[in-house]
Chains A and B, each alone.
Chain A
């Protein structure tokens, strides 16, 4: 017979919390997801680190090369010749001054005194004689500079060829072709001997200089009276300039006497020649200079114009939209402004060349606008044109971030202000904007970062002349063409020899930009954080 199993034998409901998990390569699903996202973040960090490393590795060698560049400049005697050349060029500038004086005299004589042109020229005959003699005075020095230029260039060429050969030999050696490498003849340049023709002119130079001094002293005394009384002031000013020029002679002589091709170029010179160099001159037959100042000034001027436009427009629009506009206006204005950033910058560049530059120039020819500095504009593409377009680019950034900052101002501040009897304008200017100020400032800084890094527009519209604008024209400097740091990299990077000094110089410009943007962003974030703490 069968006995029923005892009740106690019924198994209790199982406590089934143990479950086999899906696993891939020994990882659970959760862990896989974690690895995926962690991996992405890691890749981003690594790429950033690689870029920074690459930038620095390529850029850092520039300074060594630049030092080498400056050393050759000295050893081949170019530096020596440049001392004299500067003396000659200063004289040329003086002659140009005389020429301008004559032009003004002609204008004076024909327009004010109603003389005919022939009569005017007659009157100026004495002046012309004088100017001619002044110009001729420099002849001997000019000849010497021309001769020495040839010698120095030859030495430099020799040295460069040697360098190339040395490199060739090195490459052959590395390839294991020893016999061939020995066939490459390298004669080290004997600078002492090569420089002899240059240094041998020392006496002749001093002779020339003595004659020059005597000639200028007499010229100073014989300066004819001004052709018209109105120009007497200018004549006096010219005399002062000539005297100042004469006063530089001793120091030039001292420089030449003390010059020694063996004196090493210190490393800091390589840095300062870059940071404070006022010339960016490449592929020149004489000497290449890598000075970042003209580019930096160009970037700065373009950015200044851009911010000058974008700050009032961007911040003003933000205040309007956030504080005054009705909901319907907000819905219309906000997307419109944000839409600006959808324009590809190359399209804006076209617009700048075809429309804005042209429009500005024809505007600058309107007679009743001539009081504006820099008008009429000589160049269609200049810092102003590029700056206006960059301003357009910066507006959405500044607008959006400033609007955010205003949005973050607690509503209760506004209510309290109204409850104390403030008008809307008072509330905006005394409470809302000050409370959002740090946010607005950081918006402006980020706008600046955007502008400094922008490339296409400046490349197309800034005129790309590598020179520090003539600031003696005041605000007129802004309508001169400039080149920028971003523009130069984009323009020249494709054409340079990889690993060459020019290539590395461009990398250093990149590093410079990198630090600039980093600094600006850092500052902006710091300001925003401060603001959060003070209100939160």
Chain B
């Protein structure tokens, strides 16, 4: 366990702000997005998004293709910085009250705290062991015992240990698609982030592998705050505590998952979740 992580966790939380007619248990807010506008060069992709992501719960982003789910997700660990010409037009994103877009934020430190799993599994062309220890080695950890320990812990955490424990030094690219995705999750939790962002983590997986990852999400929820983008309504319904529905770069509705699926307030949401458009 990283001490900085602990100290961050111990900071007093913002008072919980239950969202509308939420039926979920009241949880403190971890990420507070306020009035966010986001631009790719001349085109505006996000319009005035306000959203409070609760601590240690799973929040799902849903919506038709191109509505800005990935864009918003990538704002949360500033991955969009890597794209030329992107900028925040207005608004702010605060994690535990700290504005992550203020001038002297250390982006590297932010990304250690906010991990990310991508749509297409992308293990490095290195061994399984090196894939998992990559993040720690970046931080200068060299102690073999510590690394071994983290590898086992992370692989167990990602429910992959039993499948790969005999070939830790084989290439990560030699695993199946589902295993690769779990390897990516293991790699992410190895650096002990607080938040894990997942962008359609199961879209390339078969139903069995998907089920495994979903199960994993349930377990991870106990320790991490998860934000997941998905096109799969069942998945959102099964895994998440809260769901946000986006349309054309705007947040249409954000509420407890049950509410969104059973009793949405907005007719567009209703149409989308019932599969009548999108």
Q: Do A and B come from one complex?
A: yes
Residues of A whose CB lies within 8 Å of any CB of B are 326-327, 410, 412-423, 426, 430-431, 434-435, 534-535
* Chain B hits for A423, CB < 8 A: 108
Minimum distance in angstroms from A428 CB to a CB of chain B: 13
Task: Using CB atoms, name the residue of chain B closest to A414.
Answer: B82
Task: Using CB atoms, name the residue of chain A closest to B173.
Answer: A534
Per-position 1/0 for B172-206, Cβ under 8 A of A: 01000000000010011001000000000000000
CA distance A327 to B41 in the complex (A): 14
Partner of A420, one of B82, B84, B115, B173: B115
A431, B124: Cβ atoms closer than 8 Å:
yes
| B7 at interface by CB-CB < 8 Å | no
Known contacts: A421-B111, A421-B112, A421-B139. The answer to whether A416 contacts B122 by CB under 8 A is yes
B79, A417: Cβ atoms closer than 8 Å:
no
| B57 at interface by CB-CB < 8 Å | no
Interface hub of B109, B126, B134 (most chain A Cβ within 10 A): B134
B120, A419: Cβ atoms closer than 8 Å:
no
* Chain B hits for A414, CB < 8 A: 82
A326-B84, A422-B135 are known; give 10 further A-B pairs, CB within 8 A: A414-B82, A416-B122, A417-B124, A419-B111, A420-B134, A421-B111, A421-B135, A423-B108, A434-B126, A534-B171
B184, A413: Cβ atoms closer than 8 Å:
no
Per-position 1/0 for B104-145, Cβ under 8 A of A: 000011011001101010111110000000110011000000
Minimum distance in angstroms from A394 CB to a CB of chain B: 28
* Chain A hits for B173, CB < 8 A: 534-535
Q: How many residues of B contact A (CB 8 A)?
A: 27
B138, A421: Cβ atoms closer than 8 Å:
yes
Partner of B124, one of A326, A413, A426: A413
A420, B111: Cβ atoms closer than 8 Å:
yes
* Chain A hits for B115, CB < 8 A: 419-420
A420, B187: Cβ atoms closer than 8 Å:
yes
A415, B79: Cβ atoms closer than 8 Å:
yes
Minimum distance in angstroms from B277 CB to a CB of chain A: 31
A413, B125: Cβ atoms closer than 8 Å:
yes
Residues of B whose CB lies within 8 Å of any CB of A are 77, 79, 82, 84, 108-109, 111-112, 115-116, 118, 120, 122-126, 134-135, 138-139, 171, 173, 184, 187-188, 191
* Chain B hits for A410, CB < 8 A: 122
Task: Using CB atoms, name the residue of chain B closest to A422.
Answer: B138
Minimum distance in angstroms from B3 CB to a CB of chain A: 16
Known contacts: A327-B84, A412-B118, A415-B118. The answer to whether A421 contacts B124 by CB under 8 A is no
Task: Using CB atoms, name the residue of chain A closest to B171.
Answer: A534
A421, B108: Cβ atoms closer than 8 Å:
yes
* Chain B hits for A413, CB < 8 A: 122, 124-125
Partner of B108, one of A326, A422, A431: A422
* Chain B hits for A535, CB < 8 A: 125, 173
Task: Using CB atoms, name the residue of chain A closest to B121.
Answer: A412
Minimum distance in angstroms from A431 CB to a CB of chain B: 6
Minimum distance in angstroms from B91 CB to a CB of chain A: 23
A415, B108: Cβ atoms closer than 8 Å:
no
CA distance A534 to B124 in the complex (A): 11
Task: Using CB atoms, name the residue of chain A closest to B115.
Answer: A419
The 8 closest A-B pairs by CB, nearest first: A412-B122, A421-B112, A420-B135, A419-B116, A421-B111, A416-B122, A421-B108, A422-B138
Known contacts: A413-B125, A435-B125, A534-B173. The answer to whether A419 contacts B77 by CB under 8 A is yes
CA distance A379 to B175 in the complex (A): 60
Partner of A418, one of B79, B120, B123, B125: B79
B138, A426: Cβ atoms closer than 8 Å:
yes
Task: Using CB atoms, name the residue of chain A closest to B119.
Answer: A412
Task: Using CB atoms, name the residue of chain A closest to B82.
Answer: A418
B120, A417: Cβ atoms closer than 8 Å:
no
Partner of A534, one of B118, B125, B134, B184: B125
Interface hub of A410, A415, A421, A426 (most chain B Cβ within 10 A): A421
15 A-B contacts, Cβ less than 8 Å apart?
A: A410-B122, A413-B124, A415-B118, A416-B122, A417-B134, A418-B82, A418-B111, A419-B79, A419-B115, A420-B112, A420-B115, A420-B135, A423-B108, A431-B124, A435-B124
CA distance A431 to B188 in the complex (A): 16
* Chain B hits for A327, CB < 8 A: 84
* Chain A hits for B171, CB < 8 A: 534
Partner of B184, one of A416, A418, A434, A435: A416
CA distance A423 to B81 in the complex (A): 13
CA distance A426 to B109 in the complex (A): 14
* Chain B hits for A435, CB < 8 A: 124-125
Task: Using CB atoms, name the residue of chain B closest to A536.
Answer: B173
* Chain B hits for A426, CB < 8 A: 138
* Chain A hits for B112, CB < 8 A: 420-421
Task: Using CB atoms, name the residue of chain B closest to A435.
Answer: B125
Interface hub of A327, A410, A419 (most chain B Cβ within 10 A): A419
B138, A420: Cβ atoms closer than 8 Å:
yes
* Chain A hits for B191, CB < 8 A: 420-421
Task: Using CB atoms, name the residue of chain B closest to A419.
Answer: B116
Task: Using CB atoms, name the residue of chain A closest to B114.
Answer: A419
CA distance A418 to B80 in the complex (A): 11
Minimum distance in angstroms from A502 CB to a CB of chain B: 53
CA distance A435 to B131 in the complex (A): 13
A416, B138: Cβ atoms closer than 8 Å:
no
CA distance A326 to B85 in the complex (A): 11
CA distance A292 to B124 in the complex (A): 47
Task: Using CB atoms, name the residue of chain A closest to B85.
Answer: A327
* Chain B hits for A420, CB < 8 A: 111-112, 115, 134-135, 138, 187-188, 191
CA distance A431 to B124 in the complex (A): 8
Task: Using CB atoms, name the residue of chain A closest to B134.
Answer: A420
Task: Using CB atoms, name the residue of chain B closest to A416.
Answer: B122
* Chain A hits for B134, CB < 8 A: 417, 420, 422, 430
CA distance A490 to B274 in the complex (A): 80
* Chain B hits for A534, CB < 8 A: 125, 171, 173
* Chain B hits for A421, CB < 8 A: 108-109, 111-112, 135, 138-139, 191
* Chain A hits for B77, CB < 8 A: 419
Known contacts: A326-B84, A421-B138, A534-B125. The answer to whether A416 contacts B118 by CB under 8 A is yes
* Chain A hits for B184, CB < 8 A: 416
CA distance A448 to B178 in the complex (A): 43
* Chain B hits for A416, CB < 8 A: 118, 122-124, 184, 187
Minimum distance in angstroms from B185 CB to a CB of chain A: 12
Task: Using CB atoms, name the residue of chain B closest to A535.
Answer: B125
A415, B187: Cβ atoms closer than 8 Å:
no
Minimum distance in angstroms from B74 CB to a CB of chain A: 9
CA distance A416 to B122 in the complex (A): 7
CA distance A237 to B86 in the complex (A): 76
Minimum distance in angstroms from B205 CB to a CB of chain A: 16
Minimum distance in angstroms from A21 CB to a CB of chain B: 48
Minimum distance in angstroms from A253 CB to a CB of chain B: 65
* Chain A hits for B188, CB < 8 A: 419-420
CA distance A418 to B109 in the complex (A): 11
Task: Using CB atoms, name the residue of chain B closest to A423.
Answer: B108
* Chain B hits for A422, CB < 8 A: 108, 134-135, 138
CA distance A421 to B84 in the complex (A): 19
CA distance A410 to B139 in the complex (A): 24
Task: Using CB atoms, name the residue of chain A closest to B110.
Answer: A421
CA distance A392 to B82 in the complex (A): 33
